[in-house]
Chain A
């Protein structure tokens, strides 16, 4: 063996088994799995990675061949109301609780929202969604909790003479609560945080790859050239496909179930029917919150939600932007036997989803238990003839 050539020889012995099998479906499966899991995707924090992954992957060799296994194992699953007392995740429950008589039920709230959203405009120059994502994570020393945020607008133009845009702005990072602020001051009030790559997070958040900064970022815009307007069950939709989504509840449900039926959910380690039920729920939320669907289709999505088990009313609450709304909650089984709670804040009178909130808790270095909340608040969802206010900075 010639000493100098060891790297070359090594390069030449690259085993054939390093090459993946051709699998034209793989990309769709990955996207389906990634989107089936709730996500806020911003600032290095996202809900799916809260999953204590270690425990969910004790694999038999065959499972990995399914490709989806790891991803779909994290598909959160809606559970029947009977198992709600198995909740492990500690989410704050408003004191005004479910059983108080006179409070509207989840079904009543969703059906009222359905009636209201039917009156929303059915056309306009742009389909606009404006959202604010907020997320929490601990500082690198786990001494206090930080909260960050990002605002996002998407302006989708159907008319060929208008351009589609995506505009976003990082809103900066700050201590989450007064208690966290005190701990932050004790730590010398740093204005940026660099995370060690191998920080243990208990899968409650992913380690930020870039340093976090207190300062807000610049408002940034990006023109969208893609013809697709969104996705359902991991498959993209064109304008034509989005407007062809059935508008009545029964045909809509059949349409969604057929789409979901094409997903390969075996090997997820979860009951396939439960996984499908969860994706159905998430698709309905996507139709209500994101997709340029007709007012009738959006109303039907509310009606399907009203028919699903496991969603319950929790009374009024204030959303992360300070708006009052009715709270609907359901549980996601993030791995067999472990549940996280999701709250949807709805304004039934306007037929609008105001926010989606996920709460988890973690133990800080000093033993204090702290909430880690992830939320998306919807400021606008619908057709408009307004024009986007484009920032100077463009990607």
Chain B
């Protein structure tokens, strides 16, 4: 059933949010799955357009999160994400984006991020890359803002530790193990 008025509302939603939903999907599941996850998310949004709140992005990312959880085998997602994480710290990605930051610092940060747990990476990138306020990021992951702040604080600390640990090797381009650091196993609750 296609209602008039639906398409224009949806077009606005798509134009304003697609790139953010795609970016979130890449950061959670890699490029191999991202286009699909983003498309599926917008299919859900089309069908539930009346549920979409004015501030749509946190809602959409919440849907994308559910799509990822319910529709993909954890193993498929992990593999696709591993490829992505490897790509981020690869030479091509870094030379393409050689802006103010030094290449080595960028590499160190991306490797540090890759070494964190999935949960920590999501907490950090929702704010740093996807431009969400903590209150909205909390909505996406389904916790209170206060809890989010606590988790974010811990995730930040773990990233800092990862960076500190990586420092001596950063300039040599040593690729970090993608195994989470022991500290990343700390509870995120």
Contact = CB atoms under 8 A, between A and B. Distances in A.
A100 interface: no
A9 interface: yes
Contacts of A392: none
Contact of B50 (A19, A27, A42): A42
Contacts of B31: 17, 64
A70 B39 contact: yes
Given A1-B164, A7-B128, A49-B44, A13 B101 contact: yes
B9 to A, nearest CB: 9
Interface stretch (A103-111, A225-233, A294-302, A359-367): A225-233
A137 interface: no
Given A1-B108, A228-B4, A30 B32 contact: no
Contact of A70 (B36, B96, B100, B142): B36
B27 A18 contact: yes
B47 A6 contact: no
A10 B109 contact: yes
A18 to B, nearest CB: 4
B129 A10 contact: yes
Contacts of B73: 54, 58
A64 B29 CA distance: 12
Given A10-B109, A11-B128, A33-B39, A226 B70 contact: no
A14 to B, nearest CB: 5
B148 interface: no
B147 to A, nearest CB: 14
A284 B116 CA distance: 52
Contacts of B62: 197, 209
A289 B1 CA distance: 8
A125 B44 CA distance: 34
B105 interface: yes
Given A44-B51, A156-B4, A222-B5, A198 B23 contact: no
Interface residues of B, number: 72
B5 A229 contact: no
B1 A164 contact: no
Contacts of A57: 36, 71-72, 76
Contacts of A222: 5
Given A18-B26, A64-B33, A70-B39, A9 B101 contact: yes
Contact of A71 (B7, B34, B39): B39
Nearest to B29: A64
Nearest to B106: A13
Contacts, number: 199
B144 interface: no
Contacts of B105: 1, 9
A67 B47 contact: no
Given A1-B167, A70-B39, A19 B159 contact: no
B164 A290 contact: no
B38 interface: yes
Given A6-B160, A41-B49, A19 B106 contact: no
Contacts of A131: 1
B178 interface: no
Nearest to B99: A12
For the complex of A and B, 10 pairs with smallest distance between CB atoms: A18-B23, A34-B46, A53-B71, A70-B36, A20-B22, A10-B128, A34-B43, A41-B47, A70-B40, A224-B5
Interface of B: 1-5, 7-8, 10-11, 14, 18-19, 22-23, 26-27, 31-40, 42-44, 46-51, 59, 62, 66, 69-73, 76, 80, 84, 87-88, 93, 96-97, 99-101, 105-106, 108-110, 113, 124-125, 127-129, 142, 156, 159-160, 163-164, 167
11 contacts: A6-B160, A12-B106, A18-B27, A35-B2, A40-B1, A41-B1, A48-B47, A61-B80, A65-B35, A66-B35, A224-B4
Given A7-B156, A11-B128, A230-B4, 18 more contacts: A6-B163, A9-B109, A10-B125, A10-B159, A15-B97, A18-B23, A30-B14, A31-B7, A34-B47, A35-B2, A41-B50, A57-B72, A59-B36, A61-B80, A152-B3, A154-B4, A156-B4, A228-B4
